[in-house]
Structure 1
Amino acid sequence: GAPGAKPGARGAGPKGAGHAGPKGAGYKGAGHKGAASRGRGPAPARPREYEAAIEERNRARHDRPAVKLPKTFGEPEGERIQKVLARAGLGSRRTCEELIDQRRVEVNGEVVTEQGRRVDPERDEIRVDGLTVATQSYLFFALNKPAGVVSTMEDPEGRQCLGDYVTNRETRLFHVGRLDTETEGIILLTNHGELAHRLTHPRYGVKKTYLAALQGPLPRDLGKRLREGVQLEDGYARADHFKVVQSTGKNYLVEVSLHEGRKHIVRRMLSEAGFPVDKLVRTAFGPIALGDQKSGWLRRLTNTEVGMLMREVDL
């Protein structure tokens, strides 16, 4: 919606919420007022029996059972696949038709060969180049969370939280996992509950990558120690990968990847190894990289990124 627009305000929300509601509320001439204002003076009152007869006739007309026409007469079920793909953000309809011609589109595991194939976006599984397309009205965002922001959608104590960065309030968004308040970097937000759940479930072990600022000098075997595992109070923690990215005098920037999701895990591991973290940034969540996204900025994930996330957790 427009910044600061109240939920019901005209122009709030992208889908033309400024138009009259579905029943023509607020539409000029809704109801019978329009009849009197056509310059004929007030319409004469009609006898009540007459009104009742009209009401009766209208009701009979609407209560009649709908005639079931054979399929060929009615509107065919579902939507044309190129329309569904275009709406999901894969390009113009023309581009989507080319994807079909190139045999790159599958519905429920079968390659689509003819244009205009009808699908049900709620039920059918649609893939392009093997990646699932989120055709429902799912939203997927990546936020570069600044330090000091709490990883919740709202905060009863009024601290800055993730919800402050999402002006798009038509749907409830979930945050995928958490970042410590002082840690910066990528955090995903979506209204796809199952995806959010799986991405944080230990069973899928999605890899997260961090950049940590430490004070050196660092021993040569630090990476090996972190990969073999560090004993913490709640069990061992192991890094999948460690490398020194930069060093200037005593200041080191190191990259650590792990598929663990325990609280403060990177800070605790490095601290336990003897190197408390000065600053920590999460630079990637699974296949989604932070890149050069500025602090506090929110961006919509591309369809390819969404497909990659879904593939990561078998959706």
Structure 2
Amino acid sequence: MTREIAVDDDGQIRLQKLLAQSGVASRRRCEELMLEGEVEVDGEVVTRLGTKVDPRTAVIKVSGKRLPPISDHVYLVLNKPRGVVSTMSDPQGRRTLSDLVADRPERLFHVGRLDTDTSGLLLLTNDGDFAHRMAHPSFEVEKTYVAEVAGRLSKGTVAELLAGVTLDDGPVEVRRARVIDTSADKSIIELVIHEGRNRIVRRLLDQVGHPVRQLSRTKFGPIELGTLAGGRLRELSDDELGQLLELVGL
């Protein structure tokens, strides 16, 4: 995340100055946090005032929370509308993600995909390593979806989902599931999974007899879509980015 930080000629900066310029607290309070043992650099508690660090490479935590490094990378949340293809170009001429970020100067990557008919939270970045790790199944980053499905969902069906459902390409682990609303002909369910296989939520709910009518992703790891309007972007906060970097070991 780009922040204007004034470094010394050697490319380093005093730690308390970096914390203050990053908005952690006032310079005096940052010094107090260091003396109280609340600041770590690369896994070591730093209490010596005047310690210098490289703001682009140091892994800094304040009271257990990661402070993102200084970089030229951007990290964005997009609320992808239905009907938009999760690619940056499309040979069929359909509307793509590039149409939604046309005013951004960076070359952006999307972290994973959402089906064309699925709306919701998609992360965009120009940090290739971050994008790769966030999408890689080994890190098991949870994704939360809200689906409107056909029919009344029973407690037995929810239990079946939580017990694990096997699809043609293997079993699916549902971390959490809860029915938000139900009626005679439709239900709304929230599901949390960590996989990103093609159309996995739709296939999962088809398998238990409740085809999806509408589907939206509302969370990616700890990041919430909130009230972000369809087709709009926002930058991740430092706290949000720090949480994601911790999740994937960056």
- Conserved? CA contact 1:134–1:306, under 8 Å: no
Aligned counterpart, 1:101: 32
Aligned counterpart, 1:196: 131
The answer on 1:91 being equivalent to 2:91 is no
- Conserved? CA contact 2:167–2:207, under 8 Å: yes
Matches of 1:113 and 1:97 in 2, distance apart? 14
Shift of 1:143: 0.6
State the secondary structure of the residue aligned to 2:155.
Answer: coil
TM-score by length of 1: 0.69
Distance 1:298 1:270, change over 3 A: same
Aligned counterpart, 1:38: none
Greater Cα radius of gyration, structure 1 or 2: 1
Matches of 2:247 and 2:10 in 1, distance apart? 35
Equivalent of residue 88 in structure 2, options 138, 147, 153: 153
Matches of 2:31 and 2:89 in 1, distance apart? 43
Matches within 5 A, 1:169-184: 169-184=104-119
Aligned counterpart, 1:245: 180
Distance 1:115 1:157, change over 3 A: farther
Matches within 5 A, 1:119-130: 119-130=53-64
Equivalent of residue 205 in structure 2, options 270, 273, 280: 270
Provide Cα deviations, 1:104-141, integer angstroms capped at 9, x if missing partner.
33222233435554321233222233333232222111
Matches within 5 A, 1:57-72: none
The CA RMSD measured in Å over matched residues stands at 2.3
Shift of 1:165: 1.9
Distance 1:172 1:80, change over 3 A: farther
Aligned counterpart, 2:159: 224
State the secondary structure of the residue aligned to 1:314.
Answer: coil
State the secondary structure of the residue aligned to 1:199.
Answer: helix
Shift of 1:200: 1.2
Provide Cα deviations, 1:61-82, integer angstroms capped at 9, x if missing partner.
xxxxxxxxxxxxx945523445
Distance 1:78 1:241, change over 3 A: same
Distance 1:258 1:135, change over 3 A: same
Aligned counterpart, 1:187: 122
Give the partner amino acid of 1:102.
L
Shift of 1:248: 4.1
Equivalent of residue 143 in structure 2, options 208, 211, 230: 208
Equivalent of residue 118 in structure 1, options 43, 48, 52: 52
- Conserved? CA contact 1:100–1:112, under 8 Å: no
Higher relative contact order (CA 8 A, sep 6+): 2
- Conserved? CA contact 1:232–1:268, under 8 Å: yes
Q: Could you list the runs of 5+ residues in structure 2 that have no partner in the other structure? A: none
Give the partner amino acid of 1:237.
V
Distance 1:298 1:276, change over 3 A: same
State the secondary structure of the residue aligned to 1:143.
Answer: strand
Distance 1:286 1:77, change over 3 A: closer
- Conserved? CA contact 2:137–2:195, under 8 Å: yes
Give the partner amino acid of 1:91.
G
Q: Which has the higher strand share?
A: 2
Give the partner amino acid of 1:160.
R
Shift of 1:219: 2.9
Matches of 1:267 and 1:297 in 2, distance apart? 25
Matches of 1:126 and 1:219 in 2, distance apart? 47
Matches of 1:255 and 1:75 in 2, distance apart? 52
TM-score by length of 2: 0.86
Matches of 2:167 and 2:134 in 1, distance apart? 24
Shift of 1:236: 1.7
State the secondary structure of the residue aligned to 2:132.
Answer: helix
Matches of 1:96 and 1:267 in 2, distance apart? 51
Give the partner amino acid of 1:101.
E
Aligned counterpart, 1:293: 228
